[in-house]
Amino acid sequence: MPERRHAARRPARPSLRRRLLTFLLVPVLGVLVVDAVVGYFVALAYSNRVHDADLSDTALTLAEMIGSDALRGELTAQARFLLEYDPDGRNYYEVISDRHGRLIGNAELALPDSRPVDVDAAPRLYDTELGHKPLRGAVMRVANRHDDGDTLTIKVAESLRDRHQRAREILLLTLPMQALLIIAVLSLVWFGVSHGLGVLEPLTARLGRRGHDLGPIGEEDVPVEILPLTRTIDDLFARMRNMLGLQERFIADAAHQLRTPLAGIQLHVERVGNTADPAQQADAVAHIQRLAMRAARTSAQLLALTRTQSPDLPDHDGMAVIDLSQVVPEAVSMRVHQALALGVDLGYEGGETPCLVRGDALQVQEVIDNLVDNAFHYAGRGHTVTVSVSCEGDDAVLAVDDDGPGVEEAFLDQLGERFFRVPGVDEDGTGLGLAIVESIAERHAARVGFGRSALGGLRVELRLPQIAGT
């Protein structure tokens, strides 16, 4: 027989309607049960009050019958019938004389355990038992009209069956009406929840017509209860727009910046194929190598710039505490070999006092690399580049100075703009290094400044807020 394949059962999706109805209907049903229990005890209390009144009347009636005729050991058949008759249970009575003892009765009934019963007082009601059978009794004491000085104790009692039967009858009379009321309430709850959720339909239809629109949802037709949800979605849309904007800008920048080197590479590849002269081929290959390196550097810096602008990176308050006096020297030492190869005198200046800031060590490394690269490219062979760290007031200052040609004051304000390169500089560059520094500085709540260096060239400094107490 072919083997049967059972599809895995998917968990039921959460339903707002089912959740609301559960939270509303279950308590309502619980209220119905509690109401039935309370209703029964209320009916029982009412039944007890009525039967207690009848029991007191029975004791008074027996006292009247005793007072109208002297007792000679028993009652008439009619009187006994009236006292003992109970269609749902059994009635008991007993009359005891202080002087002559037990006169009449059909059971030996106990007296209440509380204070003594006063003569000629109203009947006292109490709970008692007869052979482990619970009874409700009434007792009273009256003077024996036929024997001066003698006192009679009259006790009557009845079973509790009739009381509980009457309570159940009252409950059964009221319960159907309460059940109908509960059913009506449940129906109204069901209708109210279903109708109330209908206010989401215009919003759902509007969102369905948006297509690829990532604009804010707005609040004109949004119920107050789901405003936090729509605002969270708006925040998500804003982050998505930012990410898509970064992606689109990266693609546009890459297309713009890589078009020239790629076109140059294609041109020199054609030169290699169209000439047999080794000197021209070598020159073309050198150009291809230089353009490929430029394209690679441009791609790397475009990625770095996009990465620094990503909203997923932690903000200033979420960064760790780092010591610039330790991070910066380590970063500079990693560039010494490159400086020697380029003929640049790279040095570091800084004290031993810690300069604690809140930041990202990797991004600080990115800042140093870009500033040092910028100095290497524009200062050139035979010049000096100095990286320094100092604490000035509330700021920690990271600076890079060189003794190169510097930048004219008219162009200082444009440094840090994407793709800006100082006119007249022959050295190829992407124009992205200082833009990356600006972007990282913004995330660190830092300020970037450009000016004339004491060495004669350009000075770029990054001022980061120190942590209080350092």
Convert the pLDDT of each residue in 63-85 to its tens digit: 887 766 544 545 555 555 555 55
SS3 state of residue 280 = helix
Instruction: Kindly state the average pLDDT of the residues 227-246.
Output: 78
- Identify whether residues 364 and 446 lie together within a single domain: yes
Residue 293 has pLDDT above 80, yes or no: no
Range name among 22-36, 126-140, 336-350, 421-435 with the lowest pLDDT average: 421-435
Q: What percent of the chain has pLDDT over 70?
A: 79
Return the sign of the alpha-carbon dihedral for residues 452, 456, 462, 463: negative
Does any domain span residue 454? Answer: yes
- Identify whether residues 294 and 335 lie together within a single domain: no
Please enumerate, as own/partner, the contacts of 47-55 that have beta carbons within 8 Å and a separation of 24 or more: 47/163, 47/164, 47/166, 47/167, 47/170, 48/136, 48/163, 50/166, 51/136, 51/158, 51/162, 51/163, 51/166, 52/125, 52/136, 52/138, 55/123, 55/125, 55/136, 55/137, 55/138, 55/156, 55/157, 55/158
Does any domain span residue 189? Answer: no
List the one residue out of 67, 48, 60 whose CA is nearest residue 124.
60
Does any domain span residue 183? Answer: no
- Identify whether residues 367 and 290 lie together within a single domain: no
- Supply the pLDDT for residue 152: 87
pTM for the model? 0.45
- Identify whether residues 288 and 237 lie together within a single domain: yes
Does any domain span residue 208? Answer: no
List the one residue out of 240, 241, 221, 298 whose CA is nearest residue 265.
298
Does any domain span residue 290? Answer: yes
**Torsion angle of alpha carbons 317, 323, 328, 331, nearest 10°?**
-80
Domain range enclosing 238: 225-308
In contact, 269 and 281? CB cutoff 8 Å: no
Residue that is written with structure tokens 């279950």 in the block? 26
- Identify whether residues 430 and 288 lie together within a single domain: no
Residue 203 CB neighbour total at 10 angstroms = 17
Task: Please give the sequence-ordered ranges of beta strands (E in DSSP) within 98-252, or none if there are none.
Answer: 101-105, 124-130, 133-143, 151-159
Q: Is 290 exposed, middle or buried (0-12, 13-18, 19+ CB in 10 A)?
A: middle
Number of domains in the chain: 3
Give φ, ψ of 171 to 5 degrees: -65, -45
- Supply the pLDDT for residue 255: 63
- Identify whether residues 274 and 346 lie together within a single domain: no
Rg, C-alpha atoms of the chain: 51
- Supply the pLDDT for residue 431: 66
Task: Please give the sequence-ordered ranges of beta strands (E in DSSP) within 77-168, or none if there are none.
Answer: 91-97, 101-105, 124-130, 133-143, 151-159
**Beta strands 384-392 and 345-350, pairing class:** parallel
* Boundary of a domain, candidates 129, 152, 168: 168
List the one residue out of 407, 405, 435, 436 whose CA is nearest residue 420.
435
Reported as a single tens digit per residue, the pLDDT across 31-48 is 878 888 888 888 888 888
The Cα 338–Cα 328 span in angstroms is 17
Q: Which tokens hold the place of 377?
A: 């490219």
Does any domain span residue 461? Answer: yes
21 vs 135, more confident: 135
In contact, 422 and 416? CB cutoff 8 Å: no
Does any domain span residue 179? Answer: no
- Identify whether residues 147 and 56 lie together within a single domain: yes
CATH number at 350 reads 3.30.565.10
Q: Which tokens hold the place of 287?
A: 């150009």
List the one residue out of 404, 407, 409, 396 whose CA is nearest residue 367.
396
* Boundary of a domain, candidates 277, 308, 339: 308
In contact, 124 and 117? CB cutoff 8 Å: yes
Does any domain span residue 265? Answer: yes
CATH number at 119 reads 3.30.450
* Boundary of a domain, candidates 258, 274, 308: 308
Task: Name the band, by pLDDT with cuts 50, 70 and 90, for residue 425.
Answer: low
Instruction: Kindly state the average pLDDT of the residues 378-407.
Output: 88
Q: What number of residues does the chain have?
A: 470
Q: What percent of the chain has pLDDT over 90?
A: 4
The secondary element (H helix, E strand) that includes residue 371 is helix 361-379
Residue 50 has pLDDT above 70, yes or no: yes
Q: Strand order in 458-465's β-sheet?
A: 345-350, 384-392, 395-402, 458-465, 447-452
Our CA angle for 375, 378, 381, nearest 5°, is: 85
- Supply the pLDDT for residue 79: 56
- Identify whether residues 256 and 297 lie together within a single domain: yes
- Identify whether residues 159 and 257 lie together within a single domain: no
- Identify whether residues 28 and 125 lie together within a single domain: yes
Task: Name the band, by pLDDT with cuts 50, 70 and 90, for residue 316.
Answer: low
Residue 125 has pLDDT above 70, yes or no: yes
Residue 470 has pLDDT above 50, yes or no: no
The Cα 263–Cα 292 span in angstroms is 11
- Identify whether residues 338 and 457 lie together within a single domain: yes
188 vs 431, more confident: 188
- Identify whether residues 284 and 321 lie together within a single domain: no
